[in-house]
């Protein structure tokens, strides 16, 4: 049983790779900041892919998905968690 697709893995790796690089570049490598950058970036990348290729916002196979959940939904969740992690200090 496959629980992800290649597009989802690429979007996830690209978004959070960029997020970790930016966080390191500004000298703040906290988990919350990484999620605040990577979450919206993952959501935007997946929504752009779905707009130009998939044409379906909720079907996992029309864009990136992890555990049968579209990456753009996970990006929103990661963003909310990033806000929580940054404000709980």
| pLDDT tens digits along 11-21 | 999 999 999 99
pLDDT at res. 30: 83
65 DSSP β-pair partners: 70
pLDDT at res. 28: 80
Q: Which sequence spans correspond to the domains of the chain?
A: 6-87
pLDDT at res. 68: 87
Where do we find the tokens 């916002």? 57
pTM of the model: 0.88
- Hey, is 70 helix, strand or coil? strand
Distances (CA, A) of 37 to 8, 55, 57: 17, 25, 22
CB atoms within 10 A of CB 49: 19
């Amino acid at each position: 049983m496959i629980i992800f697709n290649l597009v989802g893995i690429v979007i996830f790796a690209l978004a959070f790779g960029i997020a970790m690089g930016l966080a390191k570049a500004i000298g703040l490598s906290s988990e919350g900041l990484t999620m605040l950058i990577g979450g919206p970036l993952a959501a935007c990348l997946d929504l752009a892919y779905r707009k130009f290729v998939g044409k379906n916002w909720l079907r996992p196979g029309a864009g990136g998905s992890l555990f049968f959940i579209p990456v753009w939904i996970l990006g929103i969740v990661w963003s909310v968690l990033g806000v929580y992690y940054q404000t709980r200090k």
